[in-house]
Chains A and B, each alone.
Chain A
Amino acid sequence: MLEINNLHAKIEDKDILKGINLNVKAGEVHAIMGPNGSGKSTLASVIAGREDYEVSEGSILLNNEDLDDLAPEERAHKGVFLSFQYPVEIPGVTVTNFIKTAINESRKANGHEELPAKEMLQKIREKAELLDIDRKFLSRSLNEGFSGGEKKRNEIFQMAMLEPKLSILDETDSGLDIDALKVVANGVNKLKSHDNAVVLITHYQRLLDYIVPDFVHVLHDGKIVKSGGKELALELEEKGYDWLK
């Protein structure tokens, strides 16, 4: 599904990613771990198409299609989803209106009619229930005045609504208490299927107790320095990152 080859990326002449190779197949969950400043969030942003970063070398393929020339919205239309570490507040636009706009833009881009209002409501209700989201929450302005947990839950709600092929969850566990973490993890687990893939970006092992990865990669100074199974995460928890440098 996702194939990253020798990816180099920089921002304002500062090299951040220095040759990443990553292969994620449908049905898999990958965790990318690493200390602060190792390039984890940059990798997430570059896959999603953030234009502030310049890809200087290498390629990102989604289902064998090169994403290089595609705008962020075009990548979204092809099934890429990025859950933000710091979701942005948009006053005056309700959660419902925002997700409705996002879904219909994707449908339009893929040559489908807009989703009829009734089906949209049905779907919203269903996914809100899945994530234990109060209906009142949906008519609030997007992320405005939301607690950290509410923001993250709202990200996963959007993921549930958009049904992406590739979901990248950037530090989804940060700012969550254990109950909120369980709800979010439970949601992600329920959304998992053999057709989609999840990349978890996290600093701590905690999230991986609830969303169990098939592969764990350690990112350091813009490169993947070690890959392994889920037991690698436990090893990192125990020993820290220093032994890998």
Chain B
Amino acid sequence: MELKEKLVASFLAFENKVSVDTDHNVHDIRSEAFDHFEKHGFPSKKDEEWKYTSLKSVLKHDYNVFPTGESAIEFASVKKYFLHEIDSYKIVFIDGVYSSFLSETSHDGYDICLLSAALEKSKYKPVVDQFFNTIAGKNSSITSLNTAFSKEGAYIHIPKNTVVPKPIQIVHFSTGTESELLLQPRNLIVVGENSHVQIIERHQSLNSNVVLTNSVTEIFADKKAIVDYYKIQNDKKSASLIDNTYIQQQGDSHVSVNTFSFGGNLTRNNLEFFQEGEHIDSTLNGITIIGDKQLVDNHTLVMHKYPNCESHELYKGIYFDKSTGVFNGKVIVEKEAQKTNAFQQNNNILIDDGATINAKPQLEIFADDVKCSHGCTIGQLDSDALFYMRSRGIPKKEANGLLLYAFANDALEKIKIPELKTRITKLIAQKLGVDLGFDL
């Protein structure tokens, strides 16, 4: 059976399983989304937005849509996947099921807990009704699929004037108890006026069974809120990820999303920012380092709708072997959005002859008094720099690694959690096969 048919057949069973003794209108939202998915199905290369990324090979597996077994994992065996050097809140899922054992949630002044609870309990109803599925892409069948099956994920609600004192880690493990697994986590993050939160998200498969994750995250930043979001994508080669993240910002808010894509089979990041006020700052950072036949596709959108806002976008890519990169950065500046400052930069290095990058900056500017820039480069390593380093005694391989590190560095500089920065630096060194040995 094709995956789509299987999902269609599963939807009724799913709807019966989830609790209905609530007056949330989530049931209607799911049904509507399901109809949209059923009508449009999975995107194909005929869709302009999916021209360079084919899901065909990813969709051919016989995925288990409802994980049955509940697996326990020892913390020691997965410790390395957490930023364990510092204290943090943790929302952890194993094969899509919440693991209270590995998690550390909170209801003390703010809610850092589960979407399933938020969808069921009436005290969360006002927030869910106001925000849930209001910015997730209604025209994306893949997002609709997630919405139709939305049930579990992280629910984070920070009231106004609150600084969450430690980062929140959202970690999804897959154990492969189900041989081929489809996961559809759904996160809802609402950050109140003048509040500040840092979030780290990771999807990690613990063995080489095939897993496809179709994740949707909605983030709402109220006035003057600061949200820093880090996505660590360093999964096994058997794991594929479609990440859909939608962000709505009110006036004077600052939101940054940093995406580090080093692993996985196929990774597609749909990242969309919607500015709903003045003096907003949106930052999009990405570092991609892949090899073999890996594919990473970054599709971004920034919607400038109001005057005096900024966006800063910087994506760096390093491609080895026969890997493929896609960058599609769309920036729309609407007529009212005068005095917009929008910067976009996409730099790529192709190491091997078989590597490919498809880069497409798209600027649609309808206002006349704006500062917008975009730059896209595709190159090889600078031979002058390489000779310089080798002439000082640094061997070719290490010199290459240092240069690539230097190339990616400015996107690394934006990480505001020092321990995370160290971690990512180490991951990059590992990916580049060099010992940067920077501890003097």
In the complex, are the beta carbons of A109 and B393 less than 8 A apart? yes
B402 nearest CB across to chain A (Å):
6
Q: With contacts A90-B402, A91-B409, A92-B412 known, is A158 near B385, CB below 8 A?
A: no
In the complex, are the beta carbons of A90 and B395 less than 8 A apart? no
Q: Does B390 contact A (CB under 8 A)?
A: yes
In the complex, are the beta carbons of B384 and A88 less than 8 A apart? yes
Residue interface mask B378-404, A partner, CB < 8 A = 1: 000011110111111111101100110
Beta-carbon contacts under 8 Å, A78-110 to B = 80-82, 84, 86-88, 90-93, 96-98, 100-106, 109
B345 nearest CB across to chain A (Å):
14
Q: With contacts A101-B394, A101-B402 known, is A87 near B438, CB below 8 A?
A: no
B392 — which chain A residues lie within 8 A by C-beta?
Answer: 76, 81, 98, 102, 158, 162
- The total of chain B residues at the interface (CB under 8 A) is 29
Other-chain contact of A106, B382, B393, B402, B412 (Cβ < 8 Å): B393
Could you tell me the dominant secondary structure of chain A's interface residues? helix
Q: With contacts A91-B406, A101-B437 known, is A49 near B382, CB below 8 A?
A: no
Seen from chain B, the residues whose Cβ lies within 8 Å of a Cβ on chain A are: 382-385, 387-396, 398-399, 402-403, 405-406, 408-410, 412-413, 436-438, 440
In the complex, are the beta carbons of A72 and B387 less than 8 A apart? yes
Q: Does A77 contact B (CB under 8 A)?
A: yes
* 13 more A-B residue pairs beyond the given contacts A105-B393, A121-B440, with a C-beta to C-beta distance below 8 A: A49-B391, A50-B387, A71-B390, A71-B395, A73-B390, A73-B396, A84-B388, A87-B388, A88-B389, A91-B406, A105-B395, A105-B398, A158-B392
Q: Does A48 contact B (CB under 8 A)?
A: yes
- The total of chain A residues at the interface (CB under 8 A) is 39
Q: With contacts A52-B383, A100-B437, A105-B398 known, is A92 near B388, CB below 8 A?
A: no
Cα–Cα distance between A207 and B396 once the two chains are bound (Å) = 33
| Chain B: CB-nearest residue to A168 | B391
A100 — which chain B residues lie within 8 A by C-beta?
Answer: 437, 440
7 contacts between A and B (CB under 8 A): A49-B391, A73-B396, A84-B388, A88-B385, A90-B402, A97-B436, A120-B440
A138 nearest CB across to chain B (Å):
10
A120 — which chain B residues lie within 8 A by C-beta?
Answer: 440
B406 — which chain A residues lie within 8 A by C-beta?
Answer: 90-93
In the complex, are the beta carbons of A97 and B438 less than 8 A apart? yes
A82 — which chain B residues lie within 8 A by C-beta?
Answer: 391
Cα–Cα distance between A71 and B393 once the two chains are bound (Å) = 10
Cα–Cα distance between A117 and B439 once the two chains are bound (Å) = 9
| Chain A: CB-nearest residue to B413 | A92
A50 — which chain B residues lie within 8 A by C-beta?
Answer: 387, 391
In the complex, are the beta carbons of B390 and A101 less than 8 A apart? no
In the complex, are the beta carbons of A88 and B402 less than 8 A apart? no
Q: With contacts A52-B383, A84-B388, A87-B388 known, is A92 near B405, CB below 8 A?
A: yes
In the complex, are the beta carbons of B440 and A97 less than 8 A apart? yes
Cα–Cα distance between A75 and B436 once the two chains are bound (Å) = 22
Cα–Cα distance between A77 and B383 once the two chains are bound (Å) = 20
B413 — which chain A residues lie within 8 A by C-beta?
Answer: 92
B412 — which chain A residues lie within 8 A by C-beta?
Answer: 92
B437 — which chain A residues lie within 8 A by C-beta?
Answer: 97, 100-101, 104
In the complex, are the beta carbons of B385 and A162 less than 8 A apart? no
10 shortest A-B CB distances, which residue pairs? Answer: A92-B409, A76-B393, A72-B390, A106-B393, A102-B392, A88-B388, A88-B385, A73-B390, A92-B406, A73-B395
